[in-house]
Amino acid sequence: MITHEPNPVYVAHPERYQRTPYARCGKSGLRLPRLSLGLWQNFGGVDSLANAGAMLRKAFDLGINHFDLANNYGPPFGSAETTFGQIFKRDFQGYRDELIVSSKAGYDMWPGPYGIGGSRKYLVASCDQSLKRTGLEYFDIFYSHCMDPETPLEETMQALDYIVRSGRALYAGISNYSAGKTREAAAILKSLGTPLLIHQPRYNLFDRWIEGGLTDVLQEEGVGAIVFSPLAQGLLTDKYLKGIPENSRAARQEQIYLGNKDITPEKLAKVAALNDVAQSRQQTLAQMSLAWVLNHPAVTSSVIGASRVAQIEDSVKALDNLKFSTEELQTIEKILAG
């Protein structure tokens, strides 16, 4: 149920840039906060507008100035961008030049053949719709959300190049592309004069597919990486240390990435063992899991999700201890291999 916010005059915390470290994105001149806030869940039309605003303000106060959107975030589709637009208009217009706001297109968005995929028609139309919903004049980063095997890669990259050259976005990105297609995409964009800034893949302790070649490509091409699902949809938190809670995502079977089939006794045993390592580091399991993905030299930033302000505050504490000893890393690898 949507609830409306009061309308206070928001003033950002004066020490916000002293709280979160930043890292250069690939070989670009852009620096991103090590943690970015994703609006995939909990910012839709079915969610509390007051809570969404509180989370965005708290994130910015803590130095998280990158807000990550996509055309189909909600539910319903498009509503996360609408929610962000309402909050931006009231609270963040004066801070626009301090923000990195990204959006994406690629997955199913509207009926018919032009509401999905990687065609120029879909990407440009979707970008225009997303700008209208958010009320922004431009996005800082616009992504091809997924590889479309039925569209020539050249067409998709030409569309991103056009989106940048037309002023709709400052930088081009891709998400969920394989290592080989990432290298091809980077080469095409380079030839067009619009370098590939960033790749957004899924990455966490249990899902390490990017280590099979993608991270090498990113580092060789000078492309940044911002990873999503660093906590494996909540599995890498203390939520599942005592089994599957009745009100969890897994119990409700709402998420395509996390369900009872993913939470086996063997995996729960690994979660418990990883939690022991986290405690020895004086971190929660979630904090250590965030620190672990950020420890990879190819990773610029990690997208965090949140349903309440306290989760953002807890995630930021991960930044207090990002270093791992050789022994800790070896212990983690042994747990995961077990």
DSSP-assigned states of every residue in 81-103: HHHHHHHIIIIIGGGGGG-EEEE
Give the single-character DSSP code of 6: P
CA dist 135 to 49, 82, 86, 175, 313, Å? Answer: 17, 8, 8, 24, 28
* Residue type present at position 81: E
Token pair belonging to 166: 């037309």
pLDDT on residue 33: 98
- 68 pLDDT more than 60: yes
Query: What count of other Cβ atoms lies within 10 Å of the Cβ of residue 9?
Result: 6
Residue 262 pLDDT grade (very low, low, confident, very high; cuts 50, 70, 90): confident
Q: Are 286 and 238 in contact (CB under 8 A)?
A: yes
**47-61, 176-190, 212-226, 256-270: which has the minimum mean pLDDT?**
256-270
Q: Are 173 and 200 in contact (CB under 8 A)?
A: yes
**234 torsion bin: left (phi>0), alpha (psi -120 to 50), beta (else):** left
- 305 pLDDT more than 80: yes
What's the rounded mean pLDDT across residues 175-187? Answer: 98
Domain 23-233+293-322 is in which class? alpha beta
HSE toward the beta carbon, residue 133, CA cutoff 13 A:
23
Reported residue count of the chain is 338
Nearest alpha carbon to residue 227 among 284, 289, 159, 269: 289
Alpha carbons 195 and 245: distance in angstroms, whole number: 45
Mean pLDDT of the chain: 94
Alpha carbons 90 and 78: distance in angstroms, whole number: 19
CA dist 270 to 43, 249, 263, 266, 337, Å? Answer: 31, 19, 11, 7, 9
pLDDT on residue 8: 74
**SS3 at position 14:** coil
**SS3 at position 65:** coil
Q: Are 144 and 178 in contact (CB under 8 A)?
A: no
- 43 pLDDT more than 80: yes
pLDDT on residue 256: 44
pLDDT on residue 175: 98
Q: Interior CA angle at 203 toward 202 and 204, to 5°?
A: 135
SS3 of the chain: helix, strand, coil, percent, to 5: 45, 15, 40
Q: Are 118 and 151 in contact (CB under 8 A)?
A: yes
- 3 pLDDT more than 70: no
What is the biggest distance separating any 2 CA atoms in the chain, rounded to whole angstroms?
A: 54
pLDDT on residue 260: 55
pLDDT on residue 259: 56
Residue 184 pLDDT grade (very low, low, confident, very high; cuts 50, 70, 90): very high
pLDDT on residue 255: 46
Between strands 100-105 and 139-144, the pairing is: parallel
What's the rounded mean pLDDT across residues 70-78? Answer: 98
Residue 250 pLDDT grade (very low, low, confident, very high; cuts 50, 70, 90): low
Q: Which residue would you say has higher pLDDT here, 254 or 200?
A: 200
Helix axes 265-280, 285-294, angle to 10 degrees: 80
What's the rounded mean pLDDT across residues 246-267? Answer: 63
pLDDT on residue 5: 60
Tokens 């995961």 correspond to what residue?
336
What's the rounded mean pLDDT across residues 291-314? Answer: 98
Token pair belonging to 264: 């086996």
By CB atoms closer than 10 A (0-12, 13-18, 19+), residue 247 is exposed
What's the rounded mean pLDDT across residues 19-24? Answer: 96
What's the rounded mean pLDDT across residues 49-55? Answer: 98
Residue 1 pLDDT grade (very low, low, confident, very high; cuts 50, 70, 90): very low
pTM assigned to the model:
0.93
Alpha carbons 184 and 164: distance in angstroms, whole number: 19
pLDDT tens digits, 107-122: 999 999 999 999 999 9
Give the single-character DSSP code of 118: S
